[in-house]
Structure 1
């Protein structure tokens, strides 16, 4: 059952973040393990996450969280994407919604550590966010329900090349 990091890779004290949106803005690499606890089947996701201003300008300060990559599961690799919205609050916290605006969870990284819960139909998602440095944070979702028991462990690392909008710089 290799989904969880060993004690040597678990960081010490969380890294406090006064403004979640400012911290997350830009591009990140994503490495995720997905474990089906019931069957012992494990998969991986590798890709990128881009937190960028929402394009239509109707909600100033809102960031789109777009993940694009590949999920390998049971020997098959396929493209996988998701889009969320990060809606900042004046106190540095944020509401996270699905792309269509439905509520997902709240986010408060001011201590560097945050737990949250999201009921989804018959399933329950328990999330734990831990910021370990200015350029790395970890996300762990434990999912339980009548048809599934999963553990998703993700490591996000800031990419080094950033342009003025938080994205990759344009070509010269």
Structure 2
């Protein structure tokens, strides 16, 4: 099967691309993310320190814990990435197409490339990196000069077509 390592600004449509693929082939796709592992590993500390779950969807609560999660990720992300990659390989061995919705930087992309992931850049017109760091992280991946599939996610129809195309590339007919 296939692992897609996705890159793009926040809000570009990476998660939506996975959701559309999941709607087309619910039993044939899986999602893994370093950010999810960071949330899982730091949730106890978030609850103790802020009385907020790391999984909160409340925008104000997210803003309060974001600095803590970012620091946790900087300190522990490199040690957690092998667990995320192992999970992706397990899903792949089960015949699933794996979506990695947010490859953070060139170092992480190298690890995904080593196991044979296909890099995918997702672009949404009008959506730019939210911070200088996000722009630098995306640029570090682009500067690797590896062949990369680029998908434009202008509207839901286009995202659905892209999801169908990625599934087809992996040999999955929805």
For normalisation by structure 1, the TM-score amounts to 0.25
TM-score where L is the length of structure 2: 0.24
Query: By percentage of residues, which structure has more strand?
Result: 1
Q: Which has the higher helix share?
A: 2
Higher-RCO chain (CA-CA 8 Å, sequence separation at least 6): 2
